[in-house]
Amino acid sequence: MNMSMRLLSSEFTCPTSETKQYKNLNFLLSKSSVRVSSFVNKDICNGDGRNGRNTRVSCQLTHGHLEESYRRKKRLQVLLQKPDFVRTLLIDNYDSYTYNIYQELSMINGVPPVVIQNDDWTWEELCYYLYEENAFDNIVISPGPGSPACPEDIGICLQILLECRDVPVLGVCLGHQALGYVHGAQVVHASEPVHGRLSEVEHNGCQLFHGIPSGRNSGFKVVRYHSLVIDSESLPEVLIPIAWTSTSSLPSIGSKVSDKYNGHEVQTDQSIFFDSFLPEAGNGGSNLIDYKKTRNARVLMGVKHSTRPHYGVQFHPESVATCHGSQIFKNFREITEDYWLRFRSSHNKEKRANSNAYTQVSSASRLYRDFYRSNNEEINTVDQPRKVNHGDKHLVHNNTDMNYKCLKLKWRKFDHLAGQVGGAKSIFCQLFGQEAENTFWLDSSSTDMGRARFSFMGGKGGSLWKQLTFRLSDHSDGCSKGGGFLSLEDSEGSAKTIFLEGGFLDFLNKELQSYHYDKNEYEGLPFDFHGGYVGYIGYDLKVECGATSNRHKSKTPDACFFFADNLVAIDHKNDDVYLLAIYEESSSTTEWLDDTEEKLLRLTGSTSMDLERPYSHPSTFSSHKAGFAAEQSREQYIRDVKKCLNFIKDGESYELCLTTQIRKPIEVSNSLGLYLNLRERNPAPYAAWLNFPKEDLCICCSSPERFLQLDRNEILEAKPIKGTAARGATEEEDKQLKLKLQLSEKDQAENLMIVDLLRNDLGRVCDPGSVHVPHLMDVQSYATVHTMVSTIRGKKRSDVSAVDCVKAAFPGGSMTGAPKLRSMELLDSLESCSRGIYSGCIGFFSYNQTFDLNIVIRTIVIHEGEASIGAGGAIIALSNPEEEYEEMILKTKAPASTVLDYE
């Protein structure tokens, strides 16, 4: 079949006698830009043919169209001119890239889209809002895991594509496949999965690709996340091919990602991106592309319906690395506007009111809200529709019956003191290390290249000090909201346990919002932690963030925090030391500040030297010299990697971060010495020491990865790591290994998928247009490994809290894969134990709602006489099972050897 020959003279045909009516929306969206719904529970492999044995699926449905006499006439009435905005219904197929589309459409359409998941509305409800309320101008169907042949994967989308022939629709990836499937095309396995990889695309010049170049070397490179495709040979006459690959996947991302993304310059390490592959870098000749052989191996990348305004693209225009992706969404807006303008009627000159746009915006963005307030004299008050949950059911918090606390802050600064008294190690050991119980140290032990600047430390403090220990109940899951038990101990030793029906994060959210404070009191402080909660959130709290369940129960508490009212902060850049104390307004004491200042000024550099012997060379705590035992053998881990590859092949996931644990019995009388040994062996910018003696729990963390930070300017930042290589034995070998990592298509694909995932997570809670990627795939070097690190930032929306931001992004995407919800479900089915603290986060929540949290990796957890270390790696279609096992072992090297050498 010659795809390029099947063209029509116009984009689509439609009955010109019908016109469109724009009515005022009769509902107000409370949080239209936030959506983290519970994941649809489904069988992982239910024998429906999606396990790899059955590779072809097709659909021949009866086209039972809507009754045209009433619904179409009611919907299609006059539009005199192009509107200032376009109202989109965005259907989320439980994907981890939907909110990248949301961000794009918010800027291009003039108002944010309304996001619903594919099982939120019944067909009757959708028809009500679409045809009775005339609430939307077009529909976008998101990507997603699985197949359009599976009802649980595609939800209401097939019926939309079949029945809504009078509404412009754009399907992306899974939505594109659904457009083909619903009209009888076959959806088949691609010749190879292509996730996070780029291809050049050529197109036929139709309106969806207006202004976009075409073909090889044109600059039109797109990111693909798919393992299934529409079989072009089965394409019915009613569907017209409009785009296809002009080459197979490219060997690397290219000389640049994009000139600009959402108005922000994309900064990259330009040494990463090469259009021609360098075989001397050691990446192997298998990645070289023979363009002569691939010239005719074209994959269908776009289709449109011959008579309806329905389009589909197989690639991801919303990806940060897709060129001209924004233009595609702009063109779809133009298609929508042109479609409705075809129904212009000369006898109706009524101008459409801009108040419609405001009802769409709601509280999604101050920018749009203020814009439409300034451009409309009257804003119509509208009612909320029945059974519609706009916004995020997991981000709603109830602040009724809250006991507000007025906190005061006092602080003192000591210029250039840290170096004089032996540095952070000396300060911690002298002030808090003699009796290290109930202590914390958020330790920027690696400050090279500006990776980190501040360290925070403290112990059991003043009257506000308390410890919070939370354990999920046995029945906690994403559906029943089983909650869990919170144990609280105050500074006097009084303890109580309460049941939290809403879970720990809801409790923490209410606690933080109960604090009143004066911003002027911390003016002059260069850091954002001024006192508050310090501790960790375990991986299993994913059930409070959208995951459906935990297959395994953690032995350690699921969250554990101190409320630190007294702390020491060190500015490593300027060598300054700060003492901070917070207290309730009714009390005013400087006793801790006075005592600690006196101790601090008595410290000398020689004191630090005296500490070297007991902490750096401690006596062995056991004569048992056996090594660690792994939860999974090498053979089992490799088998699980192969299972991941099968899931990826069948479209169930793009990337799966498979992990395991190694364990060893341990008797430690001085776990602080173990941590000091680890920080010396493997310094890291987001390292941490936490000691919870009541739980018989110590955490020695040397993490190089930031999960999420919110600063005082309400800027969110994530710095995911994906792509790891060992350091070389010689300078030349080290240089070659670093270059190999820079040029690795596999590692670039891993990193890109997580960058797009984090953009999505930040997009849930950030102002439209603010999410950007200032640094993409920087390669950073640490003591034992090279890593590929990216940076994603965005401006937090004013109507969401600090904890809302964490819930939108937890667990960190670099530890799950994408799409996140489906990937976590798959990983739960494979992994043999709870991850516990590993894969969670450690850090602080300041009382003024700033926070900084790491990803718990390269960490030794000592609990009830056992040391455990978690490790894993991202499995993608390009993964080699044996190499994945070796990478996992590499990541355990520094913490495991620290434990063994310490004995």
pLDDT in tens, 355-383: 333 333 333 333 333 433 333 333 232 23
Q: Given the structure tokens 């197109």, which residue do they identify?
A: 203
| Tokens matching residue 430 | 């002298």
Average pLDDT over residues 146-161: 96
Mean pLDDT value across the chain: 81
pLDDT in tens, 499-549: 999 999 999 999 999 999 999 999 999 999 999 999 999 999 999 999 988
Of 33-42, 499-508, 608-617, give the lowest mean pLDDT range. 33-42
Q: Residue 253 above 70 pLDDT?
A: no
User: H-type helices in 220-324, by residue range?
Assistant: 291-294
Average pLDDT over residues 845-873: 96
| Tokens matching residue 266 | 């994309």
**Which H or E run includes 892?**
helix 881-902
pLDDT in tens, 741-763: 988 898 999 999 999 999 999 99
Q: Given the structure tokens 């918090």, which residue do they identify?
A: 397
pLDDT on residue 865: 93
The residues near 498 (Cβ < 8 Å, ≥ 6 apart) are 485, 486, 488
Catalytic residue annotation: 173, 316, 318
CB-facing half-sphere around the CA of 262: CA atoms within 13 A: 26
Compare 71 and 282 and report the one with higher pLDDT.
71
Where does the pLDDT of residue 477 fall: very low under 50, low under 70, confident under 90, or very high at 90 and above?
low
Q: Answer whether 790's CB lies under 8 Å from 773's CB.
A: yes
When mean pLDDT is compared over 10-14, 449-453, 696-700, the highest value belongs to 696-700
User: Smallest Cα–Cα separation from 91: which of 19, 149, 164, 180?
Assistant: 164
pLDDT in tens, 377-415: 332 322 333 333 333 433 333 334 567 889 999 999 999
Pairing, β 267-268 against β 772-781: parallel
pLDDT on residue 55: 40
User: Smallest Cα–Cα separation from 201: which of 335, 330, 328, 12?
Assistant: 328
| Tokens matching residue 535 | 């501790």
CA distance 872 to 753: 17
User: Left if phi > 0, otherwise alpha if psi is -120 to 50, otherwise beta: which for 146?
Assistant: left
The residues near 191 (Cβ < 8 Å, ≥ 6 apart) are 297
CA distance 524 to 415: 13
User: Left if phi > 0, otherwise alpha if psi is -120 to 50, otherwise beta: which for 474?
Assistant: alpha
Distance (Å) of CA 16 to CA 1, 79, 206, 312, 466: 32, 13, 21, 24, 71
- Length of the chain (residues): 903
Q: Answer whether 184's CB lies under 8 Å from 236's CB.
A: yes
Q: Answer whether 812's CB lies under 8 Å from 790's CB.
A: no
Q: Answer whether 108's CB lies under 8 Å from 58's CB.
A: no
C-alpha radius of gyration, the chain, whole number: 28
Per-residue buried b or exposed e for 297-325, using 16+ beta carbons within 10 Å of the residue's own CB: ebbbbbbbbbebbbbbbbbbbbbbbbbbb
Which amino acid, residue 741? L
